[in-house]
Amino acid sequence: MTPVDSNTRSDSVGWQDIETAPKDGSGVMLIDMSAPKPEAGIGWFVFGVWTAVQPIAALALDREVFEAMVWVSPTHWMPLPTPPALEERRG
At residue 76, does pLDDT exceed 90?
yes
Q: Which residue has the higher pLDDT, 38 or 53?
A: 38
pLDDT above 70 covers a percentage of the chain that reads 66
What's the Cα-to-Cα distance from 55 to each of 9, 33, 58, 66, 67, rounded to whole Å? 24, 20, 9, 6, 4
* pLDDT single digits (tens) 7-28: 455 556 799 999 999 999 999 9
Strands (E) in the chain, as ranges, are: 16-17, 28-31, 41-46, 49-56, 66-71, 76-79
* pLDDT single digits (tens) 40-49: 889 999 999 9
